[in-house]
Each structure stands twice: as C-alpha cells, then as structure tokens.
Structure 1
C-alpha cells in the first residue's frame, strides 16, 4: 500500500546535526507569528467581492506565472492551453479547468528542486489535505478534493485572511485607481488590514502606448484637469494623498533601471508635453524622464511620507510576440544586471537623510548585494534593503542574501520578508519557507558562537514580524 504523501517537519532546515536542533528551536518560536504581507499583487477585487474561487486551476495555476513559465518551457502546455485568453480574442484558449489541472499535475516532475515545488506542496498538503503527489494518474482525484474545499464558505478570500493568519496585506493598484473597493472594505472594518499601494509606472514612462489616456485617467481620479507638466505633477501628488487617506503606506516602482537623475524642469516639461500630445520621443528621452520622475517620486515621498519601493532590473515581456498576444505578467519577464551606486546617488544625496523619507530597494542581481546595496543601506538612514524576490525568492538565494548582505547592512537595515505574489494560497507557504531559511542561518551563527540563542530568537522575530511592520510604516 502506498504511503500517504506528507511533508517532513524539518524541510528546508539545515541538514547537519549540529545546527538543525538549534534551527528547530528558533523556528518554533516564529512559525506561528502572524503574516505581515506588505507588498503583493492579490487583486483587491477578490476581497471586495468575496466570492468563491471558481475552480482549482483558476486559483492555483493560471494566476501563477512561476507555474506557467515552467510548463511552457517544458513544452507541456502553451499559454492558451493553460487558460490564458489572447488579448484580441482570437484563437481558442482552454476553458476546461480540469484539462488545465491535468497538464499541471502531469508535469509535477518538472518542479523538482524549485521553490515552486516547496510552495505548491505546502499548499496542497497543509491547506487542502491532499495525500497523493500530483501526477497524471492522481490529477482528477486531487482536482476533486481541491474543488470541494474551495466551495466551502470558509474558503472565501476574506475568510482566508483569518485562516492564513494574515494580519495585513498590501494590494498593488494603478495610479488612476478609484480606490472604491478599498473604501468599501474600510467601511466593513478591513481598512487597517487590506492596504492599497500606489503603482504609477505607466504614467512615468513616456513610451507607454496608452500614456496620455492613463495620465488623463489619473487626473480624473485625483480631481485634477491635466493639461501640462505642472498639472500632471499636481495630479500625482493628489492621487498619492488619496492612497494614503485610504490606508496606503507605500508606492511601488518597477523601473527599467535604478537611475534617479533629475532633469531641469524646462526639459521635463518639454518631454512631457511631447508625449502627452502624441509626438515621438527618443529612447534616451524616455529613460531620462523616467529617472527624473523617480527623483520626483522621492521628493513627493518626503512630503507625504509614503514608503518608496524600487524594483528595477527586469526586461519585461522579453518575448515581444507573447506579450503582444497575451499581455504582461505571463512569465516572460527576465532579469538583467543593474548598477545602483551611481544610479541612486542623486536621490540619496538629496533625501537619504531626510526624516520623512524611506525607500526600500530590491534587486534581482545578486552580485550587487555585498558590493552596492548592503553598503548603501548600511549608511543612509532612509534606505532599507528589500528581501530576495521573484527568481531569488528561493532557499539557496535567500541563504546567499543573508550571507552577503547581513555582514555589511546588519539585520535592522533590512525590510523583512516580502512575498510579492499574485498567488493568494502561496502566501503562507512563502512566508513559512522564509522563516525556515532564516532559522537555519541564525542557527549557524549560534553554533559558531557569533550570536547567543536568545539574540537569534529575537532577531528571528525582527525578520519575521517587526521589520516589515517598521519598514512599511508611513511617516
């Protein structure tokens, strides 16, 4: 008889017999702490509508670009076969969720050794009570079990906040968001628990095909008639304040580079006017304006106190064909090397010691942790170093982060863990993995007599709970 599928309680803890018991002790102290999920991409509509999830594939497969990109890379499925509808409505996307689920389960082997495997097995076993590994043979049985679970009243989005012990969760909302869903949630008592995050990227990049439309929409949401560069800035300031009034504590900026070099106001006004009128601007001008606006966002942060997150270094939509056909966030965003020391200098020289400014800087380029980002976070009071995210949100990369960043920045100049996910059910799994990796790292410091056990436990509480609360606290 096949043994039921279970998860080892020591998974992702150190393998050696000296540090493992210490890691267990540290982990037990933090495993039950509430989840602070200050930055992510779970749609606010899910909480506002609070409707049941439609099916296992819509909940666990289609929103998760980690899953989709692996299946596509293996030739196990196309995006259309995973239920992604082409933007123009042409072609036929798979509409049978069971067929999508079968493709995922049949390719379970492809996820071995990946963080996706850890997250998904955590979800299936601990949330849904699955006792069989995914495979072509078990796909239908698992589908039925998950479907039965998500049909229960206590599996709706708001109920999951309690089930997952999520104390606070941040959504990511466009600059032109009306915030009506957040207002409705606040009226129902969720205002301090579900927070908006201001994401202005489309209105800061002049090559956005819908730049003028999006700018006008932002102005309309803010109650500002945008006609020129000055009123454009007014709209951004007003909309930021609307986000803050709705409970928001942060902004988020996924710029191509980390450049923060400001332009003379006349040059910025000229470039804005050209793009706003639909006239062409060069690639160099697009980059210069984006850098200028990142500086402007920092200046506005000094005024309104919103925490500024910077996520550069991604070639978004690497496959132009797939992006044009299916849209963004389908697994084709690829990292590249980014320079930070000179790029952030204008912003940090101007605001790095400002008492009302806080920026959290992330990277997908591990080479810069010890060379650039840890030294910067280790001296500028306004800067915190963000947690590993996306492709380096994995056991080995998180260990490398602790080893390369901590010795220069210390623990207290870090942001704590940020899950940055669209996959709602993976949130507890991602936080659990981070807690296990931190416990292992701290256990090694105890074993090497570099920390006492009580210090390690206190630091684990910082990394898990206190630091993300502090890092994302609006001024």
Structure 2
C-alpha cells in the first residue's frame, strides 16, 4: 500500500517513531539559537505584500534551486513582479525531488496556510490566491508567524558594531518570544581581507571613541562591545572560520605588529595573519568564558565562489560552496590553547564539509569538562548544505557513535525566512524516526521513561539549559 505524501506520519516509518514524535516532540516549544532573522522586522511586526514576498525574498536556498532549474535572474533577485517570481518557483519545485526544499516548501504551505496542493505550475494560481487571501488578513505578520510556530526564543546574528536598538525595543514590549542578539566576530577576525578589516576597525574606533593603533586598544574597544551586547541579553557569539588558523610562535608583540601593518595598508604574510588570528582567537575565547557565553565556530565555507555573480549581486546570494581544507591539527591547537589557560567556554563546532563530522565529533570529546555542566563542547547540528535528511541522520549517528547524544542541544534554522520554522519539525521527525528504528531493531530498550527524556531533551530542554534561556 502506498503511503500518502506529508500526512501526520511523514518521515515516521515505525509505530515507535510515530509514538515518540506525537507524544513527546511535536508540541514542544522551539528554541532557535542561530538564525539570520531581522530584529527590526520583528519589532516593526513586518507585514508581507504577498506569499512571494514572505517566501522568496530572503532565502538563498530558493534562489540556488531556481538557478539550477534554468530560471533567469530577473525572476529570482531581479525586478520581476512577485507573481512572476512565484510562478517560476512553482515551476521549479516539481524538479526538486530529493532536495529538502521539496519537503520544506510543502510543509511550509501546510503549516502556515493549510494548503495541501502540490506545488506546480498547474496549482500556481490557486496557491497564490489562497495564501494571499490569508496574508491580507490577520495572523501573518512577523511576530504572529513566530508565535504560530510556538517559538519560545531566538538568537539573531549581529555585527558587533550594531546598536541593537530593535532588540532593546523588543525587550520593552510584551511580545512573548524572547529575541536576543549574537556577537558575530567575523569582520574583526578576517585581517586578510585588509580593506574591509581596516574600514571595520575605523568604525569600531569611532563607535567606542578609542584610538585603535595597538592590539591592547583593539581589545579595549572590543571589551566595550562585549559588555554592550551582554547588557542587551546576548549569551552567544559566532565566528566563521573559512580555514582554521594557528601559529605556534604567536605573541602579543607579533599580533601588534600585524595589526599595525594592516592599518597602514601594508601586505601581511601568511605567518603574520596566523599570528594575529591566533592571539585574537585566544582573546575571543577568554571573553566568552568570562561572560559565560556559548562560542559557536562555523567551519568550512568557500564563500562567493562565483566572482561574476558576486560583483553583480553581492555576497550571501547563493554562490557559496563547501571547502575541503584540513582542519584537525590547527583546531585542536586553538582549543587546547584556551583549555590550557582555563579559558575554554561552552563551544559548538559546526562543519560544512561532512567529511569533518568525525573530526569535530572526536574534537568535542577531547575538551569536555564539568565546569559548565554536561555537553560543554557540542558537535553542532547539521548545517547549511547538510540540513537535509541524510545530513541530519549522519550528524546524529556521528554524535551517537562518538559522544553523548542525549546531551545534544538540537536543531536551528540558520535562516533568513520567517516561514522556515517547519525545519524544526523536520528535524524532530527525523530524530524520532532514527530513535524509533533503534528501538524496533532491539538496539535501544523500549523504555518509556528513557525515550521520553531523550526526545524531549534533544528537542527542547537541553538547549534551554545550555543557553540559559
């Protein structure tokens, strides 16, 4: 007998999986501890002009898929009308079998709009009308979309130079969802991008009213920004590492010399770049430790690989790829540097290249400590190109094989779209199916208390405790 598509037991292939999901996972609140939503949109309670505006305007996953279907950029990020863009998206979806967006797109229509039609050219007009009739009514503003998905708290991704005004304004409202900033340190770390780095330091200098010409004054200025973020509820930082730097010979004097050369517009050698980054990483780790924050490390993005499209459209528009550089030795040395000085904060390690899952899984195990409780160092959730069914299962199995799966802090959206929250449901269904399979095969005991605790902890309670939310 053929199974229906996207019914209540979607992705739940055993009775045990169905029981675990519907009894313990389905109704838990969502803690979305890493995303790229706009605090301004949330504060202003943004309303959308159409389903295309809500669904397609900010999601580079969608844009990549449409390009792969041969759609002209005019209908993706160009000046085409919302309806024309929606038509092209509906014409693309039928070709996405095997892509997680085939599941996500249909889940999003069902969960937010109650639309169960397949997304295709033939149903385009009907779906357009049904969704837009609801968007024009009540219940589909930015805040209402979050509340509809039972989001309890979320952490945005923010430049350390941000004034965080909208986070501050939100904290003064009665909005039930907690919206907190995250300290994203990439711009200060990437001294090898000299022009951008120098411009960023100049803005930091102006913002803090400090003359930054030495490593000590840079640290002093960053101290002020860390304190400012902490006062505004920030409890997480994030650092994207394209490659993992390390220098055995790095001293403050070396970092100071590299900083002075960069600010003077002089080129830096690879050695000087690594010396600077090693000392700055040590500083960032120490600050996270002192403040009791969680430090997230996202490793392995080959950013904006298409130079022509980068010049045409800018960064973060769907042209990144997975890098394949070696990371183990330098990452181990960086983390050991923090640990040796008793400055290792709670840390989440994400890898974009799935070949590195076992590297990060074993690396996490090498730096566990009881000073911040269980699961101090986490193998991060399946990220970006990996947040599909196979990638999620691979990450869960890796953590199960190498670590303490029951302490995992669960899924995140990493999304710019307010319609992306069914991805948490997607993860929960996959998790319950995997655990249910182990039970049905006799590889886990059919013990209700054990299974209830495992599922509910991974889906919600571990994150709530780990992030102190």
Aligned to 1:244: 230
Tell me by how many angstroms 1:6 deviates. Answer: 6.7
| 1:73-113 residue CA offsets vs partner (Å, 9 max, x unmatched) | 221232x431x3xxxxxxxx324111111111111122211
Aligned residue number for residue 153 of structure 1: 138
Spell out the pairing of 1:43-442 with structure 2 (5 A cutoff).
43-78=38-73, 80-82=74-76, 84=77, 93-190=78-175, 193-208=178-193, 209-261=195-247, 263-282=250-269, 285-352=272-339, 354=342, 357-370=345-358, 372-381=359-368, 382-427=376-421, 429-442=422-435
Q: Secondary structure at the match of 1:217?
A: helix
Shift in alpha-carbon separation, 1:158–1:302, aligned structure 2, 3 A: same
Describe the shift of the 1:368–1:34 C-alpha distance in structure 2 as closer, same or farther (beyond 3 A): same
Q: Take 1:135 and 1:234, find their aligned partners in 2: how far apart are those partners?
A: 56
CA distance in 2, matches of 1:190, 1:279: 49
Structure 2 CA distance for aligned equivalents of residues 269 and 383 of structure 1: 30
RMSD: 2.2
Whole-angstrom CA distance in 1 between matches of 2:246 and 2:105? 38
Offset at 1:259?
3.3
How many residue pairs match? The answer is 453
Q: CA deviation at 1:287?
A: 4.7
Change in 2 beyond 3 A, CA 1:287/1:415: farther
After superposition, give the CA deviation of every residue in 1:275-296 in whole Å (9 maximum; x if it has no partner).
2232222455445433442232
Distance 2:420 2:176 in 1: 23
* Secondary structure in structure 2 of the residue aligned to 1:58: helix
TM (normalized to structure 2)? 0.91
The Cα shift of 1:337 comes to 2.4
Q: 1:288 to 1:62 in 2, by over 3 A?
A: farther
- Aligned 8 A contact 1:361 1:385 in 2: yes
Query: Structure 2 vs 1, CA of residues 39 and 223 (structure 1 numbering), >3 Å: closer, same or farther?
Result: farther
In structure 1, what is the Cα distance between the partners aligned to 2:275 and 2:344?
26
Task: Give CA deviations for 1:166-190 in whole Å, capped at 9, x if unaligned.
Answer: 0001110112101111111111145
In 2, Cα distance between equivalents of 1:137 and 1:461: 41
Q: Residues 214 and 259 of structure 2 are in contact (CA less than 8 Å); yes or no, is this contact kept in structure 1?
A: yes
In the TM superposition, residue 379 of structure 1 has moved relative to its aligned partner by 3.7
8 Å contact from structure 1 (residues 361, 383) kept in 2: yes
Deviations 1:104-147 (A, max 9, x none): 11111222111111111001122112232222232222222222
Q: What is the match of residue 437 of structure 2?
A: 444
Unaligned runs of 5+ in 2: 369-375
Please say if residues 176 and 219 of structure 1, whose CA atoms lie closer than 8 Å, have aligned partners that are also in contact: no
Higher mean alpha-carbon deviation, 442-451 vs 393-402, is at: 442-451
> Separation in 2 of the partners of 1:393 and 1:109?
20
| Deviation of the 1:192 alpha carbon | 7.2
Report the 3-state secondary structure (helix = DSSP H, G, I; strand = E; otherwise coil) of the residue aligned with 1:359.
strand
Distance 1:322 1:54 in 2: 28
Counterpart CA distance in 1 for 2:343 and 2:446 is: 33
- In the aligned structure 2, how far is the partner of 1:414 from the partner of 1:340? 23
TM-score, structure 1 normalization:
0.90
- Alpha carbons of structure 1 residues 291 and 146: separation in structure 2 relative to 1, 3 Å: farther
Deviation at 1:452, TM superposition (A): 3.3
Q: Distance in 2 between matches of 1:23 and 1:185?
A: 38
